[in-house]
């Protein structure tokens, strides 16, 4: 029996040592992933404070392409699910995630292969209306139209304000970077309102989601069995 116990202990020690080596190797072999994550977090404050973000072209959007000097190329195109548009005379061009000025330059570059310094105008016709989503401990969770310059605090008010169980100091604001990444920022609304300083109140972008978590007290069960009360109260 003793030999069996010693053998079992030795196997456990070896297993732990192997797991430690694997973990160390995984960390040492993944510097690029860590660097990428750090880069996203590092640029978060500036991105969340941007007041006038440009609209980005998305799948399903429709726009007019107008040529001042070559009207025969005028056309209305729709962005395909893969982000490409089929353009008359030049074929497929990827335009998703571009602002209108960026899209205009992309079209000029594409048509510059067959036209001499084309003058092009882009007019959005059908596109996704700006919106934000409010979830968690707000009066009316849901999806709302984003009209004009709206800050996080204003968005909370639009969504019905905080509930009694909300945690004002840790409001989460999520913002999509691309198809695989989302930025997240914790905003201490309680501190901002207490100090009367809304300089850190970020402006929302279309597609942003805010989440208000529960406070600690609200997580406690509403009803406590009487036999547990003796732990907290001494008898008279």
Q: How many CB atoms lie within 10 A of CB 97?
A: 13
Tokens of 144: 């709302």
How much is the pLDDT for 78? 96
Query: Same structural domain for residues 112 and 144?
Result: no
How much is the pLDDT for 234? 45
How much is the pLDDT for 130? 86
Contacts of 78 (CB under 8 A, 6+ apart): 60, 61, 62, 85, 126
Long-range contacts of 15-24 (CB under 8 A, 24+ apart): none
How much is the pLDDT for 149? 86
Q: Give strand pairing partners of 174.
A: 184, 209
Residue 160 lies in a domain: yes
Tell me which residue of 188, 204, 175, 191 sits closest to 49, measured CA to CA.
204
pTM across the whole model: 0.54
Looking at 78, 97, 126, the residue that finishes a domain is 126
Structural domain including 90 reads 62-126
Residue 55 lies in a domain: no
How much is the pLDDT for 193? 87
C-beta separation of 135 from 210 below 8 A: yes
Task: Compute the distance between CA of residue 171 and CA of residue 197 in angstroms, rounded to an integer.
Answer: 16
Give mean pLDDT, residues 180-188.
88
Q: What is the largest CA-CA distance in the chain?
A: 96
Residue 228 lies in a domain: no
Query: Same structural domain for residues 143 and 185?
Result: yes
Give mean pLDDT, residues 203-217.
88
Tell me which residue of 45, 54, 55 sits closest to 199, measured CA to CA.
45
Query: Same structural domain for residues 121 and 135?
Result: no
Query: Same structural domain for residues 195 and 208?
Result: yes
Q: 56-70, 191-205, 221-235: lowest mean pLDDT where?
A: 221-235
How much is the pLDDT for 183? 87
Share of the chain above pLDDT 70, in %: 68
pLDDT band at 215 (very low <50, low <70, confident <90, very high): confident
Tell me which residue of 53, 66, 95 sits closest to 78, measured CA to CA.
95
Output DSSP code: residue 67. Answer: E
- The residue among 142 and 126 whose pLDDT is bigger is 142
Q: What is the CATH number of the domain that holds 149?
A: 3.10.560.10
Looking at 99, 126, 153, the residue that finishes a domain is 126
């Amino acid at each position: 029996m003793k030999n069996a116990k010693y053998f079992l202990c030795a196997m456990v020690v070896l297993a732990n040592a192997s797991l430690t080596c694997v973990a160390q190797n995984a960390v040492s072999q993944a510097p690029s992933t860590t660097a990428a994550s750090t880069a996203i977090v590092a640029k978060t404050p500036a991105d969340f404070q941007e007041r006038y973000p440009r609209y980005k072209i998305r799948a399903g959007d429709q726009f007019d392409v107008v040529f001042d000097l070559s009207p025969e190329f005028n056309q209305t195109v729709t962005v395909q699910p893969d982000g490409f548009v089929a353009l008359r005379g030049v074929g497929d061009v990827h335009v998703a995630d571009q602002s209108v000025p960026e899209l205009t330059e992309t079209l000029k570059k594409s048509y510059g292969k067959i036209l001499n310094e084309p003058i092009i105008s882009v007019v959005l016709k059908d596109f996704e209306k700006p919106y934000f989503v409010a979830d968690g401990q707000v009066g009316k969770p849901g999806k709302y139209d984003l009209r004009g310059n709206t800050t996080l605090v204003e968005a909370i008010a639009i969504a019905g304000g905080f509930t009694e169980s909300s945690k004002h100091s840790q409001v989460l604001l999520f913002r999509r970077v691309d198809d695989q990444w989302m930025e997240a920022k914790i905003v201490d609304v309680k501190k901002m309102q207490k100090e009367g300083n809304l300089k850190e109140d970020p402006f929302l972008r279309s597609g942003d989601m805010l989440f208000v978590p529960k406070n600690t007290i609200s997580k406690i069960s509403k009803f406590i069995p009487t036999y547990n009360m003796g732990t907290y109260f001494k008898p008279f």
